[in-house]
């Protein structure tokens, strides 16, 4: 997946277990034909989750949005929209597929948050060039009555999922819907599933992070929220590494839910940790070079699994200071470990599993500790008895400690 001028390696999470799928058939799918007018009404009433923050992560330019609007006016077929009804909020929906199409409708009709994109004018049209530079408000003129009616009365197949059994179910639907050449980031779904102050803060912080923009080769917030995911991954390991279950999806879901719920007590630590993240990322760029961070030798692919290990240590104030004092030694150590079979294996396959996650953190931590001649703790597995004790208390994890 390309971001800017680099590739962004996708990773496969652990497969679902049978016990997690047995209730999937309980979900109720309603396929209905909603007119554009109905959809716009739902958007305007905020029944479909399209909060103003989504506009910072707008993946379509005006030309593509205009082409979509033109297709509706012409009566051309467009893809379906898939929504999931929010738990306990009948008539309120999360978007699983169709976010950019819905955002286009929201903006074109002037119902988006105030800004230059709200009420945009059509541009780059291929068939209806007479509508170029026309806004939705202008279509309400009598001369365009037929076009306005065609637009508002167009029916878009809309699938609504109700009574969904678990977040795993929504993840599975989301990923199955996005198996084409342009995959969406699960972080988009995560932001919708776990709204709250924490989710808002990491959204803003990631979008404004200068080192993240540099690492990903982007000029602003990433449209697919992959910058947010990198920050959330760091915060999850930073605060909850001992709870790591061996499935990254569950780990990040749980972290987002907990930090939203505990925001009153976690706000200050989270804000401080985000500052450490940015400082650590800047140190990595300064030491390794922006085009080498989280990349294997002779590769342009950004590897999130490697970045997790690098930023885990670089965010620590004492370790970061030592790294900046010995940049050449650290760079040489990174080049060496990036070519070692054990580290490569842990960074290429089953990257979310406990053994390889631990291996990356342990191998780089021990190499960094020796290079810096600095004593700090490196994650390891808990003793078997500790894991059994945790299981008896209902805690399901393999048992990292730091």
Whole-number mean pLDDT of the chain?
A: 85
Residue 71: alpha-carbon gap to chain centroid:
29
SS3 per-residue string spanning 59-109: CCCHHHHHHHHHHHHHCCCCCCEEEEECCCCCCCEEEEECHHHHHHHHHHC
Residue 375 token pair? 């004593």
Region 357-380: mean pLDDT is 94
Residues 319-365 have pLDDT tens digits of 999 999 999 999 999 999 999 999 999 998 888 888 999 999 999 99
Identify the top-confidence range among 264-273, 301-310, 340-349. Answer: 264-273
- pLDDT band at residue 96, thresholds of 50, 70 and 90? confident
Residue 388 confidence (pLDDT) above 70: no
Q: What is the pLDDT of residues 272-288, one digit of tens each?
A: 999 999 999 999 999 99
Q: Which residue has the higher pLDDT, 25 or 164?
A: 164
Nearest-angstrom CA–CA distance, 360 and 356: 6
Q: What three-state secondary structure class fits 374?
A: coil
Top mean-pLDDT range of 84-98, 211-225, 316-330, 336-350? 316-330
Q: In angstroms, rounded to a whole number, what is the distance separating the alpha carbons of residues 223 and 336?
A: 34
Residues 6+ apart with CB under 8 A from 317: 276
């Amino acid at each position: 997946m390309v971001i800017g001028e680099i590739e962004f390696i996708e990773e496969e999470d652990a497969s679902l277990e049978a016990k997690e799928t047995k209730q999937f058939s309980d979900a109720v799918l309603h396929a209905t034909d909603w007119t554009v007018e109905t959809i716009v009404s739902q958007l305007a009433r905020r029944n479909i989750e399209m909060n103003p923050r989504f506009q910072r992560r707008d993946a379509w330019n005006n030309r593509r949005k205009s082409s979509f609007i033109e297709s509706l006016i012409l009566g051309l077929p467009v893809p379906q929209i898939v929504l999931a009804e929010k738990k306990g909020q009948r008539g309120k929906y999360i978007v699983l597929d169709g976010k950019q199409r819905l955002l286009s409708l929201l903006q074109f009709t002037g119902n988006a948050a105030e800004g230059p994109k709200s009420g945009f004018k059509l541009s780059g049209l291929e068939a209806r060039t007479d509508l170029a530079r026309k806004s939705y408000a202008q279509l309400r003129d009598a001369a365009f009555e037929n076009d306005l009616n065609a637009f508002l009365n167009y029916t878009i197949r809309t699938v609504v999922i109700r009574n969904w059994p678990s977040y795993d179910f929504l993840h599975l639907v989301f990923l199955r819907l996005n198996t084409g050449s342009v995959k969406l980031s699960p972080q988009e779904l995560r932001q919708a599933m776990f709204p709250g102050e924490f989710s808002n803060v990491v959204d803003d912080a990631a979008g404004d992070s200068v080192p993240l923009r540099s690492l990903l080769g982007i000029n602003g917030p990433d449209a697919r929220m992959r910058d947010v995911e990198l920050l959330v991954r760091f915060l999850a390991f930073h605060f909850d590494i001992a709870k790591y279950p061996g499935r990254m999806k569950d780990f990040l879901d749980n972290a987002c839910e907990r930090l939203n719920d505990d925001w009153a007590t976690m706000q200050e630590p989270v804000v401080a940790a985000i500052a450490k993240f940015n400082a650590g990322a800047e140190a990595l760029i300064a030491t390794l070079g922006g085009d080498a961070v989280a990349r294997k030798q002779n590769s342009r692919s950004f590897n999130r699994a490697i970045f997790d290990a690098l930023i885990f240590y670089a965010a620590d104030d004492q370790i970061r200071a030592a790294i900046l004092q010995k940049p050449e030694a650290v760079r040489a150590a990174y080049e060496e470990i990036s070519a070692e079979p054990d580290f490569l294996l842990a960074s290429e396959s089953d990257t979310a599993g406990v053994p390889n996650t631990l291996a990356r953190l342990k191998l780089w931590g021990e190499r960094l500790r020796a290079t810096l001649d600095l004593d700090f703790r490196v994650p390891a597995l808990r003793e078997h008895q500790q894991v059994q004790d945790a299981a008896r208390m209902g805690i399901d994890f393999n048992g990292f400690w730091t």
